[in-house]
Copies of this chain bind each other. A is one copy, B any other.
Amino acid sequence: MAEILEPREREPEQGSPEQGYGLPDELHREIEEALDAGDVGQVERLLGTLHLADLADLLERLHPDDRKTVVGIVRPTLRLDPDLLAYLSEDVRDELLTLLEPEELAAALAELDSDDAFAVIENLEGDRRREVLANLPALDRRWAEESLSFPEYSAGRLMAREFVAVPMFWTVGKTIDYLRVAENLPDEFYDIFVVDPRYRPTGDVRISKILRSKRSVRLADLVAEEIRTVPATMDQEEVAFLFRQYDLTSAPVVDDAGRLIGVITVDDIVDVINEEAEDDILKLGGVIEDDLYRDVIETSRARFAWLGVNLVTAVIASGVIAMFQSTIDQLVALAVLMPIVASMGGNAGTQSLTVVVRALATKELSDRNARRVMWKEMLVGCVNGLLFAAIAGAIAALWFGDMILGVVIGLAMIATLIVAGLSGALIPVVLEKVKVDPAVASGVFLTTVTDVVGFFTFLGLAAWILL
């Protein structure tokens, strides 16, 4: 820890440091009230106090009509602060972009870091994208076009083109001198890449090491032992894994020939990790795309497909029940109890499935341990199946005064929970093998299996043993 040498009487010249932790509800309320009252001056004054990130949040949360009004107010300042574009969520940003002329948008993009600019450009449609590209400065345009040539969600789309690269034989002093005069460097950087004469990265020096070393020290002596280059075509999920796994702050992106063409920094990765986790959470819940800021009709349409698939599985389960109509007709208690088995199977299976889907996403599950995990999930199903067989069996026997009914539900419970554990682990692994996203499709297959097995074993055993 650093000690303060000779603290002086002089107070810092800065204004009092502005503190803020997100958009305050109070301020949000005041702005909405000013909007309702049509008091543009007041809205403008309140907006002026907001950090761009919080302004972006406000825009996202407002009613679409109010959003238009606020965009009208912030539009002139947008030229001053194109960074607002980087903070907005996609849906709302696209809405805002439609209000700007191509020249105006190109001017804003030229001021952004190249990676933030790409993120906007890649979402533009055909003609508009061409117009905006045509209005960009030459270098930015070339960078943007190169970036767009890489697949969506790849490192090439994520990287910034501004970075610092120097030859290995330089000293700390020469590097610092260079940094003080060089142009077109990134605003902020954490690492300096050392490259060979063919511009292939051979090492990585943390800039804090440069700051702490004497001018005469050679970069070769500061370079980190190993460097992990990222091919431009690597999927962003893979890149995020590398950053998490090896605690990276930035990583060099290379082209097919291994030449350094860009850099990915940890702040981009924070967003990727967040997006990927969000994606998995939503998909597991049956929501294919983030729809918080969409309107009712769009949201309903997006969710319809998933519910439709679920209707099919529900009808399949009903088909199983229909096979045993005469059994139920003879003993209506079966209709009362049958959802218990299916529901327990669904829940136990979802537990296994969640753990396995997550382990696949974080690469904790490999071919080597997949079989062990499946075996374990089956045993867990067996253990809890036995326990809940006893509990549910007792409940059923006491409720309907029928010992055998208790045995039937118990046996069905054991069978269903074992199958649930096994299929909860097996289904995502198989889907991953055949390149289907396990987060989005596993749930449907699982509930089909657990419903069919739950109803079939319970009603089948009842038909066989009881009647």
Contacts and interface: CB of A to CB of B under 8 A. Distances in A.
Contacts of A227: 17-18
Contact of A4 (B165, B291, B307): B165
A342 B339 contact: yes
Nearest to A358: B281
A273 B282 contact: no
Contacts of A127: none
B280 A267 contact: no
Interface in A230-250: 238, 241-247, 249
Nearest to A225: B18
Contacts of A430: none
A287 B355 contact: yes
Nearest to A17: B227
A285 B284 contact: yes
B167 A296 contact: no
Nearest to A223: B14
A457 interface: no
B281 A270 contact: no
Contact of A207 (B207, B270, B358): B207
A380 B295 CA distance: 9
Given A32-B368, A278-B358, 9 more contacts: A1-B184, A2-B165, A5-B178, A10-B168, A179-B212, A278-B362, A318-B340, A325-B335, A328-B328
22 contacts: A2-B163, A4-B166, A4-B195, A4-B199, A10-B169, A12-B168, A17-B229, A20-B226, A51-B246, A53-B247, A207-B211, A266-B267, A274-B277, A277-B280, A280-B281, A299-B376, A303-B384, A304-B384, A311-B344, A314-B339, A318-B340, A325-B333
